[in-house]
Amino acid sequence: MLALLLLCAAALPLAARRAIPAPEEAARMARFVLHACDWGALATLSTQEGLRGRPFANIFSLSDGPPGPHGGSGVPYLYLTDLEISVQDLEVNSNASLTVSLAQTPYCRKHKYDPQNPLCAHIIFCGTIVKVNDSEVGLAKKALFTRHPEMESWPKDHNWFFAKFNITNIWVLDYFGGLKIVTPEEYYSVKP
């Protein structure tokens, strides 16, 4: 019995290491990081007086699907209102970048990785933000409201709407040696 317990204890760290994709699986890592995270930093080109044309980053809650092991859709969904200044920027220019990092999860803290350490994986998406069409509203609503239940009670007079990040470029930093480029086709074709 003791030998079995020791064997299980020895296998646990190996299993924990396999929970995160290997560095050579950049597309899988991108999907893993997005699904593990609840928010990201969205950068727009500001339209605000005094900042016009300059980069402006803001934090947004997001979700690619309900939490759990199935990995989500890979599509970053957001719940937005025109009252928010970054959304006002997007109405003029829908181009944006989105950074999501495992620094917001227990993973980096557990391993004592600083958020800037490449082993504390983060991804950067570039693309555009668009309102979801009627056929996708149910999916976006389920993805967001299961992770962020408070959203359902946000003031209705703010005219909230569901949007998604249409990904055109992906960079992954999950190991030493620099950024890895992942195409959207590679990203969506892997199972997280």
Spatial CA neighbour of 166 closest among 65, 75, 81: 75
20 within a domain of the structure (yes/no): no
16 within a domain of the structure (yes/no): no
| Segment 39-46 mean pLDDT | 98
139 within a domain of the structure (yes/no): yes
Quote the number of domains for the chain. 1
Question: What is the residue range of 131's domain?
Answer: 26-189
19 within a domain of the structure (yes/no): no
Q: What digits encode the pLDDT tens for the residues 58-115?
A: 999 999 999 888 779 999 999 999 999 999 999 999 999 999 999 999 999 999 999 9
Q: What is the mean pLDDT of the chain?
A: 91
pTM equals 0.88
Residue that wins the pLDDT comparison between 8 and 73: 73
128 within a domain of the structure (yes/no): yes
DSSP string, 4-63: HHHHHHHHHHHHHHHTS--TT-HHHHHHHHHHH-SEEEEEEE--STTTTTSEEEEEEE-B
Distance CA 45, CA 93 (A): 7
CATH number of the domain bearing residue 104: 2.30.110.10
Please give the pLDDT value at position 70: 76
| Segment 164-175 mean pLDDT | 98
